[in-house]
A and B are shown apart, each in its own frame.
Chain A
Amino acid sequence: MPIVLSDAHIPVVDPSTADGVFSLLWLIVALPLAGALVLLLGGPLTKGAIDKWGHYLGTATALGSFVLSLTMFFALLGREDSDRQVAQHLWTWFEAGGLNVGMDLLYDPLSALFLLLITGVGSLIHIYSIGYMEHDARRRRFFGYLNLFVAAMLMLVLAANFLGVFLGWEGVGLASYLLIGFWQHKPSAAAAAKKAFVINRVGDIGLSLAIALMFATFGSTDFAVISAAAGEASQGTLNAIGLLLLLGACGKSAQVPLQAWLLDAMEGPTPVSALIHAATMVTAGVYLVVRSNFIFELAPTAQTATVIVATVTLLWGAILGCAKDDIKKALAGSTMSQIGYMMLAAGLGVAGYAFAIMHLLTHGFFKANMFLGAGSVMHGMNDDVDMRHYGAVRKAMPVTFLTFAMGYLAIIGFPGFSGFWSKDRIIETALADSWLVGLLALLGAGITGFYMTRLMLMTFFGEARWGAEVHPHESPKVMTFPLIVLAALSVLGGVLLLGDWIVEFLSPVTGVAEHHEPPVPALVVTLMVTAVVAVGVAAAWFLVGKRDIPRVAPTEVSFATRAARADLYGDAINDALVVQPGSALVRGLTTADRVGVDGVVEGGAAATAGLSGVLRRLQTGFVRSYALSVVGGVLLVVLALLAVNLA
């Protein structure tokens, strides 16, 4: 798969000092962090009174950050293109020898868009959670964790050096762990949290090694220093850094081969799935790749690897989505697939970065919308997640149905909806780069059409299949309001691309692609994508919509369905490749320790004890024998002296 190295100019990060409204940059992170501290530590201090208003505090801090982000966004729009990077130095984090790491924040078009997504969608999900978690005894703690997550995620996208990114990276990992396992009384939730944590560690090792390599190569992890000096490093080093960063991105963004945790992560409360495992945290890997464009542009091997990983993942996730009956897991497979699209665009270089971010934003809108919609459905169905027990929900929940439908039309890329614009441009860019990748991405779009239609049909259409004890009802307004806002964004998100606005806006960060004449006209690509999606939708209609859906999943199914239900044997592969050899290694080490090390130590002790047992027989208790040995000894000494003197 040849990737032509772009000759485009890679922009150097060269920010100006924060002033005016930008001097409040730190407050965006500090607000939710303070909220988290108050909510998590305030329980004993206020003797539980905080439980009554804690969720409002958590929502208020997120909203406060959103207002600040919006203000700064407009302030940034008011500036010249060349002056759109602002840095704020807070304090020196640590310094040792030649190593100096500052607590620096960087505000540029890329972080600006991420701030809006995180705080905007984050605030909506906070509002939604007020209703969703109403009956949970630990709602205050839930909001504390959510605030902690938002603070860490904001730190991740605002940091001006890779170590700051790593701080946020670990923070969101922690928050993700805590929230997946929020209902820790369920063994499955506890296990899912642990699985996510362990698999993320693998990726984090990649990121930390990449940071160590940057220290060794450039003596710094500041974006500014590295982007200026990247050209001087050797090709091998840059490729190594790029591949290690990619490993980190794979862990956080659930890309193959570190994808196995995402579907299990759906054990967490649904707002968590919407915020962390759909809209924001799992896209951190895409952010990392786009942010490190100054490295990836000079590391063609890492770029090729990114494209391969992304292509495999977008098909992998789509196939999983086709077979799952759990509505959240089907959506999670879809998330994995859509992040594959973003990664693909990011791996395509300068031509793709802007589209990766574009798809990331629109996906943040429509996927959060659909996850919250799924949560709303579950809320009305006594927390049942099996779509085979749904059907005809649209009559009972009209608002949820309509908003979900907007998200559905957006994700399959119905013309005019947000996903249509972003996904089209990615497939177009991929086709321009490589026929194979482009066609596979096109195939993925068709499968997307299939599984989303299947999900829609099973949930909202057909016969009602729920039991007599279930009484579906529309969710309260506090839950439907975020749905309506997100549905509107899902529909209108495409305006981001009006006149290629987002491409120009991001150009100070990602550079400007040379304009190539596409091998296939854009209109033809659009028609192709629309046609393929239509085929997928039609297939779902004939295979799912026209048939009766049994309440219990049929067991006699094709091999492909069985494989997809088993997550394409992702767990089995991990088990065979990592867990079993790991256990064997540990067993071997234990045996070596028991036989070898313990053998030497305990054998030495036993030999000493045995010898002592023999030697102590000399202690007969007879005084005269002791006297004899004394005399004998004296005689020996005397004889020896004589022998020496006479010799």
Chain B
Amino acid sequence: MSLPARVATLLVGFLAVAALAVFVVVHYFLASPQTVDFTAGVTPDTGASVNVVMQEDPQNTVSTHPDWVSYFIQNPTTKQWEHTTIFKVPAGSVVNMTILGYDGCTPLRNPVFGKVSGTIGGVAYVDGKPVTQLNSWSACNVGHTFSIPGINLNVPMATPNLNEANFLCGTSPCTSGPVRKVTFSFHTPKTAGTYFWQCRVPCGGGFVTGFGGPMQTIGFMTGNMEVVS
């Protein structure tokens, strides 16, 4: 093989390895679900309100893990449901949260997280009715929770009735099927930063303690609230 040919082969091989390395880093290590932005047109630290709409589904048919439960966030501009659990809100504002609960019930491991905390007025509304706590052990009425430990926020998500359990939505993002509408409001911190949120129901079926899989994967049952000032 001539010298130019050998040099060219070496160069091609090097570029191929480098391209593979870049692909792995970008595709696997730096990959993150998109962030849904709720800051447009809102001035931070003015107490202005933003409306965040989410849904929790019994499955996720738009991902490579169709049997994992998952949250979705509605894009405020396009109204499309985004498969992500990261959203951005202004500091010092009020978030009016609406979560559509399409999933069925699973008891909380620790029933203390059936108590609503950290919301304005210490209350959440299930289909318009105020609730301050849900007992997931006496009645199978909690599917998930929406909890941000950094601001002591915890809201149990009510579920469709037991007689509706066999008719749960089967395609994500859900647009039909039995659903409970949970609404509540909370103040965002005045300090900018990233606050993780999680579900406290061990709904990662098939994983140790029910807290693997979707429970520890951003984009499914946990994510970040990015507060910007």
- Do A and B assemble together? no
